[in-house]
Amino acid sequence: MYIDIGAEQIIGAQRGNDKIAVEVKSFISPSRISDFHLAHGQFLDYRYALEDKDPERILYLAVPRFVYQTFFNLAFINSVVQRSQIKLLVYDLEKETIEQWIK
């Protein structure tokens, strides 16, 4: 199983001493809800795999800022994220920068 980015090695950002992995999603299909269902399921699978193989690593779901601001503020989506304990990383696609870390 492959997770997109082992962040302490590839992204030039530090999260203290935390070992992290980031599952990057672009949400570019015509259906944001379909993208979310796919991202949610993959995130949970990756988190379970990490718990078995590398339990110290913290998994984040990276989403574009415009998707976070419009779609992730919907009550249902916000509820799923909270209940699933998904940690988010919000990135600016054009600037290629991390805008926000949300635990």
pLDDT tens across the length of the chain (103 residues): 455 544 433 233 446 788 888 888 989 999 999 999 999 998 998 899 889 888 888 899 999 999 999 999 999 999 999 999 999 999 998 898 899 999 8
Torsions phi, psi for 7 (to 5 deg): -65, -30
Q: Name all contacts of 16-20 with Cβ < 8 Å and 24+ positions apart.
A: 18/58, 19/54, 19/56, 19/57, 19/58, 20/57, 20/58, 20/59, 20/60
pLDDT of residue 2: 53
Query: Is 2 inside any structural domain?
Result: no
Q: Containing domain of residue 79, as a range?
A: 7-11+18-102
Given this model, what pLDDT does residue 6 score? 46
Indicate whether 77 belongs to any domain.
yes
Using CA of residue 66, residue 74, residue 27, residue 89, what is the dihedral sign? positive
CATH of the domain at 41: 3.40.1350.10
pLDDT confidence of residue 50 = 86
Number of structural domains in the chain: 1
In a domain, 1, yes or no: no
Look at residue 70 and tell me if it is in a domain.
yes
Which residue in 58, 55, 64 sits closest to 5, CA to CA? 58
